[in-house]
Amino acid sequence: MLPVEYFGIAAGTLSTAAFIPQAYAIFVSGESDQLSLKTYVTLLIALSVWCVYGVMLPDGYGIALLVTNGIQTCIVLFIVVLIVRHKIQYHNDCAAWNNLGNGFV
């Protein structure tokens, strides 16, 4: 392994670790209303493109890139799913709340 690859692994590990507290906080608290779905979807697309780029690099040079971005893609996908799930739940709760008064005039 080339010395420069160690920097790639270190950068990938740190940037991957940066998403874990956010995913954990959303999972535990059930709150994601302060997060931008557009931002996370854009990040998901970007990470997916990085994974494709890592596959396209010759002679296994993109393995660190592929592994770390692959893990990040999974974490960000998890966050996107939680944001969407919470938005759907919020929408359903609001609809149910608004329907409570429909028969009481």
Rounded to the nearest angstrom, the gap between the alpha carbon of residue 69 and the centroid of all alpha carbons in its chain is 11
Q: Residues 83, 32: contact at Cβ < 8 Å? A: yes
CA atoms of 72 and 43, how far apart (whole Å): 10
Return the higher-pLDDT residue of 65 and 49. 49
Going from the N-terminus, what domains does the chain have, and what CATH number goes with each? 3-99 (1.20.1280.290)
Q: Is the pLDDT of residue 72 over 90?
A: yes
Q: Is the pLDDT of residue 105 over 50?
A: no
Structure confidence by residue, pLDDT tens digits, 11-47:
889 999 999 999 999 999 988 888 999 999 999 999 9
Q: Is the pLDDT of residue 90 over 90?
A: no
Residue range 49-53: mean pLDDT, rounded? 93
Residue range 84-88: mean pLDDT, rounded? 89
CA atoms of 79 and 86, how far apart (whole Å): 11
Q: Residues 54, 69: contact at Cβ < 8 Å? A: yes
CA atoms of 12 and 75, how far apart (whole Å): 13
